[in-house]
Amino acid sequence: MSEQMNAAYLEDYGDLNNIKTGKLDKPEAGEGEVLVRIKAAGVNPVDAAVAKGMLKDAIPGEFPLIPGWDVAGVVEKTGHAARRFQAGDEVYAYARRPLIKHGTFAEYISLPEAYLAERPTNISMEEAGGIPLVGLTAYQSIFDFGELKKDQTLLILGASGGVGTLAIQLAKSVGANVIGVASEANHDYMKDLGADVTIDYNDHHVGEAVKKAQPEGVDLIFHCSRGDSFAQVMETGVLKDGGKIASITKSKPDISDDIEFKYVFVEPNSEQLEHIAALADNGKIRVPISKTYTLEETGQALQEIEKLHTRGKLIITP
């Protein structure tokens, strides 16, 4: 009989209360793969969407299905021809595979070594586990596409959540100015991370408030929320001529064809994770954790994350 591990898993898509916890086969490190003992797994809105079957036409799944795409942990074994890491190395990764089956809400995962990077060591394992998905999303949106530079202004819609928390700090790391939008309760939090200006989407027409704060306009809009904020911003024309928009929530917004726009869907990238780890080790990135959950509490964690009002990150510690 193969070795077993504890995991949170689904036997069908649907209600988040139906997520089970129990023993499943422990994965093995195949050729070019690394077996990681998971210590911390960030929880993301997409995990709730996966569990409800909302992505099943885009990315196939197989049951029993373990959700979870973020991992920080310790290398337990390396497979044949996997040479980048050794047992005992502390690593982190964004673990999305072409088939959703072996996720990170479990004690172990086996991943191609190319997915992994050494984790930042200046922050806790829990904080490291909260970085990969949101860190790569912010990086690929504001740097790869947005080409954000020193003294440019970035407007982040949804700046206190998982993605926004990383986006503020990555933008500050290159010397950009940041306008962060979230509810009033999160304004001190965003300022503490480095936001120069904060706007409450409940209190203001967000577009008018941005125009007042930055009459010359913004260079890049990073759209990582739902609600009306984006439409309000577009109504007031605060994007500078030649400015860009990256969205991670709307693939085809109603905007002029002249605007350079990209819908970003985050991809694994270990070089970018190495860069983010270096920033964290230099004290430029931290990941405030609002709550940690056990594997048995995975359903609760997913119910909380799907509300889309998390400050910082939720983490599962298997």
Ligand X SMILES: NC(=O)c1ccc[n+]([C@@H]2O[C@H](COP(=O)([O-])OP(=O)(O)OC[C@H]3O[C@@H](n4cnc5c(N)ncnc54)[C@H](OP(=O)(O)O)[C@@H]3O)[C@@H](O)[C@H]2O)c1
How far is Cα of residue 278 from the mean position of the Cα atoms in its chain? 18
Q: Which is nearer to ligand X, 5 or 206 (CB)?
A: 206
Number of neighbours of residue 280 by Cβ within 10 angstroms: 22
Among 68, 103, 164, 299, binds ligand X (CB under 6 A): 164
* Cα gap 59→160, rounded to integer Å: 28
Question: Both tokens of residue 298?
Answer: 């995975």
Q: Which is nearer to ligand X, 95 or 266 (CB)?
A: 266
Q: According to CB under 6 A, which residues from 246 to 265 bind ligand X?
A: 248-249, 264-265
148 binds ligand X (CB under 6 A): no
Of 139, 142, 135, 134, nearest to 246 by C-alpha is 142
Length of the chain: 318
Q: 187-200: b or e for each residue (b if 16 or more CB lie within 10 Å)?
A: bebbeebbbbbbbe
229 binds ligand X (CB under 6 A): yes
Judge whether 77 and 31 are in contact, CB under 8 Å.
no
Shortest CB 9 distance to ligand X, Å: 21
Shortest CB 226 distance to ligand X, Å: 6
Shortest CB 187 distance to ligand X, Å: 9
146 binds ligand X (CB under 6 A): no
Q: Quick one: which segment of 33-41, 144-152, 179-187, 209-217 binds ligand X (CB under 6 A)?
A: 179-187
Question: Both tokens of residue 280?
Answer: 């964290």
Shortest CB 103 distance to ligand X, Å: 16
Locus of tokens 């973020």: 70
Question: Both tokens of residue 40?
Answer: 């911390």
Q: According to CB under 6 A, which residues from 31 to 50 bind ligand X?
A: 44-46
| Interacting residues toward ligand X by CB under 6 A | 44-46, 134, 137, 157-164, 181-183, 186, 201, 224-225, 227, 229, 248-249, 264-266, 308-310
